[in-house]
Amino acid sequence: MSTIKLYFIQLVMGLIPETRGFALKRALYCWTGAKIATNARICSSAKILGNGSLIIGDNSWIGHNVTIVTTSTVVIGENVDIAPNVYIGTGTHIVDIKGNRIAGKGISKEVTIGSGTWLCAGSIVLPGSTLGKMSLVAAGSLVNGNFESYSFIAGTPAKFIKSIKN
């Protein structure tokens, strides 16, 4: 995605009503290189940053004050619900105890959120994490790792609580 175009879009988003103009918002983000399905809805207060790739599937909801930072690839499946104040990021650092700072060389790791998943309010999805389809992430959880489909996960760090498959 183009960071210059994303900067322009962030200026424009404040002029579009929060839960209206979804087709316009989708078109603007697609202009930056993002791949967003026709029925995906993004709230105006959501922030999408970085020069990586973003793919959002059909009928997905990106809620109020969601932040997505991609220096790698973020894939959000179909029918995903992302509640307010969720953070999804792909960038991190290698720990360097011998250098001038502990945050050593920057690295990027992909994030994948399976179709039908619900990220509840205030959850955080760290680089390299994968959530299988139809997963449920409890509010305020810190996702770091891979979780199978139909997982209910919660906590900081998030742990598998139980399968929610019928």
Q: Annotated catalytic sites, by residue?
A: 93
Q: What is the DSSP string of 101-156?
A: SSEEEEEE--EEE-TT-EE-TT-EE-TT-EE-TT-EE-TT-EE-SEE-TTEEEETT
Tokens 């680089």 locate to 127
Distance of alpha carbon 117 from its chain centroid, rounded?
12
Q: Residue 116 is which amino acid?
A: G
How far is Cα 161 from Cα 108, in angstroms, rounded to an integer?
28
Q: Is 81 exposed, middle or buried (0-12, 13-18, 19+ CB in 10 A)?
A: middle
Query: What sign results for the dihedral spanned by CA atoms 29, 33, 38, 40?
Result: negative
